[in-house]
């Protein structure tokens, strides 16, 4: 089975805010679907967390390496793309685009073998996983109303992030966290994301250490991106000083970038994004290294239904991966599949057992959000 064509669809019209200081508009494209077509007629789906323009430009370089390749060897083919582009956008748009190609190749491999791809990563350790509802921080009354609404939908775990946290005062930080904890009660899981990958992040190590002690008072499950994403030494110090687990790494790409953060003990939890870091093949290798160092892998997933479905497959196979991120208020997660995501009474999400990444997409919905009529 050979790769014959690669098609893409940039999602637009309902792009949720990212929390960035230069905030996204609904028409901005930051999520792009990738479809790999084959001479056997099967199609694999992937996604990239970047614009369709960057994916299209990257594909001009990657296509000659892909067209005519076998569609049955995702890891070898993705590594071929990495190895042949060391001089061209390594770690940037090229790596982002390889992420979508790699996911699509694994999806194809699962469809050919009629297996959910989690089986290939070591087997299915669990059939359900807890999604945490991820939302941006807002003025306390608005944020509390949003949290109560999500609680009513059945979510039992939450993460609040970005907004004014770490940007105004320690008193404001505590007000936000106290408001969230009051809204969801003492029994639900709560994580806090400072959003240190925002432009010109100014949260200092001293601020982060003090904030971590405040978060412990509200039984916060992890403290995410408290420092600038490249601050290896800062994270090592913060982890030693913090009473709550420290997490990060959502913007890192390529497995090699994660090595110092893992081997030098910078994090309790690392959060690679499968639609950015290089795809499933790269994520697995990061996960294997992390697990051997006693570090938990919780996927970053502020993306699409493709990203969520892929994260569910990964979580089926890694024993410490007991959460997936569920980006709330995002039609690209909730409104492009043929079946809705359903939480059970315990707030758990079933890991699809169908072939590939295990979900099907609605071509009309994809057209609605991209204008592309022939993706699949």
Binding site for Mg ion (CB under 5 A): 193, 224, 250
Q: How far is the CB of 115 from Mg ion (least distance, A)?
A: 31
Q: How far is the CB of 181 from Mg ion (least distance, A)?
A: 19
Q: How far is the CB of 175 from Mg ion (least distance, A)?
A: 21
Q: Which is nearer to Mg ion, 38 or 303 (CB)?
A: 303
Q: What is the 3-state secondary structure (H, E, C) of the chain?
A: CEEEEEEEEECCCCCCCCCCCCCCCCCCCCCEEEEEEECCCCEEEEEECCCHHHHHHHHHHHHHHHCCCECCCHHHHHHHHHHCCCCCCCCCHHHHHHHHHHHHHHHHHHHHHCCEHHHHHCCCCCCEEEEEEEEECCCHHHHHHHHHHHHHCCCCEEEEECCCCCCCCHHHHHHHHHHHHHHHCCCCEEEEECCCCCCCCCCCHHHHHHHHHHHHHCCCCCEECCCCCCCHHHHHHHHHHCCCCEEECCCCCCHHHHHHHHHCCCCCEECCCCCCCCCHHHHHHHHHHHHHCCCEECCCCCCCHHHHHHHHHHHHHCCCCCEEEEECCCHHHHCCECCCCCECCCCCEECCCCCECCCCECHHHHHHHHCCCCCC
Q: Which is nearer to Mg ion, 272 or 352 (CB)?
A: 272
Q: How far is the CB of 340 from Mg ion (least distance, A)?
A: 25
Q: How far is the CB of 84 from Mg ion (least distance, A)?
A: 31
Q: Which is nearer to Mg ion, 107 or 193 (CB)?
A: 193
Q: How far is the CB of 89 from Mg ion (least distance, A)?
A: 24
Q: How far is the CB of 148 from Mg ion (least distance, A)?
A: 22
Residue whose beta carbon is closest to Mg ion: 193
Q: How far is the CB of 58 from Mg ion (least distance, A)?
A: 24
Q: Which is nearer to Mg ion, 75 or 250 (CB)?
A: 250
Q: Which is nearer to Mg ion, 122 or 229 (CB)?
A: 229
CA dihedral 362, 369, 272, 356 (to 10 degrees): 20
Q: Which is nearer to Mg ion, 107 or 250 (CB)?
A: 250
Q: Which is nearer to Mg ion, 58 or 242 (CB)?
A: 242
Q: Which is nearer to Mg ion, 193 or 311 (CB)?
A: 193
């Amino acid at each position: 089975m050979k790769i014959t064509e690669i098609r893409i669809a940039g999602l637009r019209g309902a792009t949720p805010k990212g929390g960035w200081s230069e905030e996204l508009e609904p028409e901005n494209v930051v999520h792009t679907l990738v479809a790999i077509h084959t001479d056997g007629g099967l199609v694999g789906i992937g996604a990239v967390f970047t614009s369709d323009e960057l994916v299209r430009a990257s594909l001009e370089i990657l296509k000659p390496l892909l067209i005519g390749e076998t569609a049955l060897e995702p890891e070898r083919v993705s590594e071929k793309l990495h190895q042949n582009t060391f001089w061209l956008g390594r770690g940037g748009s090229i790596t982002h685009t390889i992420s979508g190609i790699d996911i699509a190749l694994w999806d194809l491999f699962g469809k050919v073998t009629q297996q959910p791809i989690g089986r290939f990563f070591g087997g299915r350790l669990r059939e359900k996983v807890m999604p945490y509802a991820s939302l941006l921080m807002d003025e306390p009354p608005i944020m509390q109303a949003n949290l109560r609404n999500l609680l009513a939908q059945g979510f039992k775990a939450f993460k609040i992030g970005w907004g004014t946290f770490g940007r105004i005062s320690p008193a404001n930080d505590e007000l936000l966290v106290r408001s969230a904890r009051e809204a969801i009660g003492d029994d639900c899981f709560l994580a806090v994301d400072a959003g240190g990958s925002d432009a010109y992040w100014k949260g200092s190590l001293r601020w982060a250490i003090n904030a971590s002690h405040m978060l412990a008072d509200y039984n916060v499950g992890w403290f995410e991106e408290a420092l600038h994403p490249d601050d290896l030494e800062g994270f090592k110090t913060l982890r030693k000083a913090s009473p709550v687990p420290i997490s990060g790494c959502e913007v890192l790409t390529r497995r090699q970038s994660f090595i110092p953060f893992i081997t030098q003990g910078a994090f309790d939890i690392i959060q690679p994004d499968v639609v950015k870091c290089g795809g499933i093949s790269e994520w697995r290798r990061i996960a294997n290294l992390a697990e051997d160092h006693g570090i938990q892998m919780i996927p970053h997933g502020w993306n699409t239904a493709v990203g969520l479905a892929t994260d569910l497959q990964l979580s089926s196979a890694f024993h410490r991966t007991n959460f997936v991120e569920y980006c709330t208020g995002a039609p690209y997660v909730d409104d492009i599949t043929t079946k809705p995501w359903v939480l059970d009474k315990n707030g758990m999400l079933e890991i699809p057992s169908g072939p590939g990444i295990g979900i099907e997409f609605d071509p009309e919905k994809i057209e609605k959000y991209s204008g592309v009529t022939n993706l699949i």
